[in-house]
Chains A and B, each alone.
Chain A
Amino acid sequence: EVQLVESGGGLVQPGGSLRLSCAASGFTFSSYAMSWVRQAPGKGLEWVSAISGSGGSTYYADSVKGRFTISRDNSKNTLYLQMNSLRAEDTAVYYCPTKIAAAGAFDIWGQGTMVTVSS
Chain B
Amino acid sequence: EIVMTQSPATLSVSPGERATLSCRASQSVSSNLAWYQQKPGQAPRLLIYGASTRATGIPARFSGSGSGTEFTLTISSLQSEDFAVYYCQQYNNWPAFGPGTKVDIK
Q: Interface residues, chain A, CB within 8 Å of chain B?
A: 35, 37, 44-47, 50, 59, 61, 95, 97, 101-107, 109-112
- Measured CB to CB, the closest approach of chain A to B4, in angstroms, equals 10
Q: Interface residues, chain B, CB within 8 Å of chain A?
A: 32, 34, 36, 43-46, 49-50, 53, 55-56, 87, 89, 91, 94-100
With beta carbons under 8 angstroms apart, the residue of A47, A107, A112 that contacts B94 is A47
Q: Is the interface of B mostly helix, strand, loop or mixed?
A: loop
> What is the count of residue pairs linking A and B with beta-carbon distances less than 8 angstroms?
61
Q: Is the interface of A mostly helix, strand, loop or mixed?
A: loop
Do B95 and A102 touch (CB < 8 A)?
no
Do A47 and B95 touch (CB < 8 A)?
yes
Residues of B within 8 A of A45 (CB): 36, 44, 87, 89, 97, 100
- Write 8 A-B pairs (CB below 8 A) sorted by A numbering: A44-B98, A44-B99, A45-B36, A47-B96, A95-B44, A105-B50, A105-B91, A109-B45
Do A104 and B45 touch (CB < 8 A)?
no
Q: How far is the CA of A59 from the CA of B93 in the complex (A)?
A: 12
